[in-house]
Each structure stands twice: as C-alpha cells, then as structure tokens.
Amino acid sequence: MMNDQAIRPLDLASVDHVLTTTRSVRQRLDFERPVPPAMITEALRIALQAPTGANTQTWRFMVVTDPAKRAAIADCYRRGAAAYVGGETGLSRTGVTAMREYEADDLRQQQREAVLKSGGFLMENLERAPVMIIPCIEGRFEQDDVFTQASMWGSILPATWSLMLALRARRLASAWTTLHLYHEREVADLLGIPATYTQAALLPVAWLKGGDLKPARRLPVEQVTYWEHWA
C-alpha cells in the first residue's frame, strides 16, 4: 500500500515563495530578539537532507552565540572586507571574485549601490547578529583537481543553502557571507576547528525585521541558459 506521505501533493506556492525570497538579509536582521537554539537545530536537521559526495556526510556546522567570539569573528570579517574592497587580496586581483562594474543599463550595475550599502552595514554590525553559523567540510583541497574541489564544495554548499531556506521558512533571516575566510585560520583557532577542515561560509542568523521579502531581479533565464550547444 502507498504511504500517504509519499503521495501528499506539494504546496508549490509556498515552496516557490521560500525559494524565490530567501535573500541575503543584512539591514533587516533583528539584533535584539533572541533566537531559540531548538530552531537552529531544526533547520540544521533539514539541511542534512542535502546531497553529500559518496555519502560521506563529512559536513560539520559550527554555531556561535558567545558575544566575545562573535566580536572576534566580526573583526576577522571586517579585515577581510577591507582588504577585498581595497583590492589587496590575491583572488580579487584576478577579478574572479571582484565586485565588477557593468554598463549603466545593466541590472547588476543598477543593483550595485544597494548591495554595497547593505554589505557595508553588515560589515559594521556583524557581531550584533545573535547567532553565527559556519558550515565546514572535512579536508583541505586547495591544491586538488577540479573533480575533487567540485566534490568537496558540492558536499557542503547545498546543505548551506538548504539551511538558509529552512531558516527562511521559519522567518529567520540569514546572509551568505565569505569575507571572514581571508582569516579562516584565525577563526578556526578561536573556535577549535581542526586544521583538517575547510570553512565554507559564515551565516549571521536573526529574526527577520519588517514585512515579507521579495523575489530579486535577476538576469533573464534565457540569457544564462544554453540548450544543446553554448550560445
């Protein structure tokens, strides 16, 4: 006999709403309202349903609420952000990760100012987020081939995104950030993260302030999709 759960129709409108309105929230993080630890655990439990290369499940999630630790992490983030903005970092010099300039009529140029303003706010206030989550994966793979790198990132980033979605569905906001990684070792030492693990991101988490979130404007799907042959 079919299990009722298996044939339960999905509420597509709700699923699509969560998928299209999970933003990088910075200025609307509620720094005052405490976040119940049980909600973080619940969202993490859902995130663990993400794919994991060879079923290794070598993901680990560092949850930080201690104010002194949050302040130290925010300090690393600020130094990373300052170096990034100043073009002093190796990767940003190659332009691969840089915040680029576009033609004036390009959507991304029109959004640039808002992203910089919001990013600047987070940079100045990061330690005020009541919870920080750092997803980690076992292994160091900087020197490895693309297969290995894709396998390792692919075993932690989908879970990280699922975590943001699960938080969002509970009206908890977060923001995908990476700038503390310029000082990854310092943060690892602060939190006791073993040198054999790689940190993938840093999510400040808080209750969402204000009204609902909206879908973002993105490049048209036709512009970024190829069928059968490139271009």
C-beta of 45 vs 91, nearer to ligand FMN = 91
Judged by CB under 6 A, the residue of 156, 179, 203, 208 near ligand FMN is: 179
Residue 176 as a binder of ligand FMN (CB under 6 A): the answer is yes
65 by Cβ neighbours in 10 Å (0-12 / 13-18 / 19+) ranks as middle
Stretch that binds ligand FMN, among 9-17, 57-65, 134-142, 169-177 (CB under 6 A): 169-177
| Per-residue 3-state assignment (H helix, E strand, C coil) for the chain | CCCHHHHCCCCHHHHHHHHHHCCCCCCCEECCCCCCHHHHHHHHHHHCCCCCHHHCCCEEEEEECCHHHHHHHHHHHHHHHHHHHCCCCHHHHHCCCCCCCCCCCCHHHHHHHHHHHHHHHHHHHHHHCCEEEEEEEECCCCCCCHHHHHHHHCCCHHHHHHHHHHHHHCCEEECCECHHHHHHHHHHHHHCCCCCEEECCEEEEEEECCCCCCCCCCCCHHHHCCCCCCC
C-beta of 38 vs 167, nearer to ligand FMN = 167
Stretch that binds ligand FMN, among 31-39, 44-52, 172-180, 189-197 (CB under 6 A): 172-180
Stretch that binds ligand FMN, among 101-109, 158-166, 171-179, 189-197 (CB under 6 A): 171-179
Contacting ligand FMN within 79-118 (CB under 6 A): 115
C-beta of 44 vs 203, nearer to ligand FMN = 203
Q: Minimum distance between the CB of residue 88 and ligand FMN, rounded to whole angstroms?
A: 15
Residue 119 as a binder of ligand FMN (CB under 6 A): the answer is yes
Stretch that binds ligand FMN, among 2-10, 13-21, 161-169, 175-183 (CB under 6 A): 175-183
Which of 13, 26, 22 minimizes the C-alpha distance to 216? 22
Residue 24 as a binder of ligand FMN (CB under 6 A): the answer is yes
Q: Minimum distance between the CB of residue 83 and ligand FMN, rounded to whole angstroms?
A: 12
Taking the C-alpha atoms of residue 177 and residue 78, their distance in angstroms, rounded to an integer, is 12
Q: Minimum distance between the CB of residue 184 and ligand FMN, rounded to whole angstroms?
A: 13
Build a one-symbol-per-residue string for 202-221: x at contacts with ligand FMN by CB under 6 A, - elsewhere: --------------x-----
Residues that bind ligand FMN (CB under 6 A): 23-24, 26, 115, 119, 122, 175-179, 216
